[in-house]
Amino acid sequence: MEIIKKIIDFIRKDFTTLTVATTVPSLLIDLLFIVINGFTAAILRSPWYLAMCLYYIMLTIMRFSLLLGTGMKAISRNKEKTDIKNYLMAHRMLIVMDIILGIAIIFLVFHHIVRDFPGALIFFVAFYTIYKVTLSLINLSKAHKTNSLTTITLRKIGNVDALVSLLILESALMNRFGDRWSTYAFMTNLFCGLAVWAIILGMAVWGLHKAKRLKKELQ
Render pLDDT for 173-215 as a digit per residue (tens, 0 to 9): 887 777 777 788 888 888 999 999 999 999 999 999 998 888 8
Q: What is the pLDDT of residues 25-54, one digit of tens each?
A: 888 888 998 998 899 889 988 888 888 899
Q: Over range 137-151, report the average pLDDT.
A: 82
Answer whether residue 168 shows pLDDT above 50: yes
Answer whether residue 10 shows pLDDT above 50: no
Q: Between these two residues, 124 and 116, which has the higher pLDDT value?
A: 124
Which residues span the domain enclosing 116? 2-218
For residue 159, how far is the Cα from the chain centroid? 5
Q: How many whole angstroms separate alpha carbon 40 and alpha carbon 88?
A: 33
Question: How many domains are contained in the chain?
Answer: 1
Q: What is the pLDDT of residues 56-113, one digit of tens each?
A: 999 999 888 888 877 776 666 777 778 888 888 989 999 999 999 898 888 888 877 7
Distances (CA, A) of 135 to 62, 109, 129, 170, 203: 20, 27, 10, 18, 18
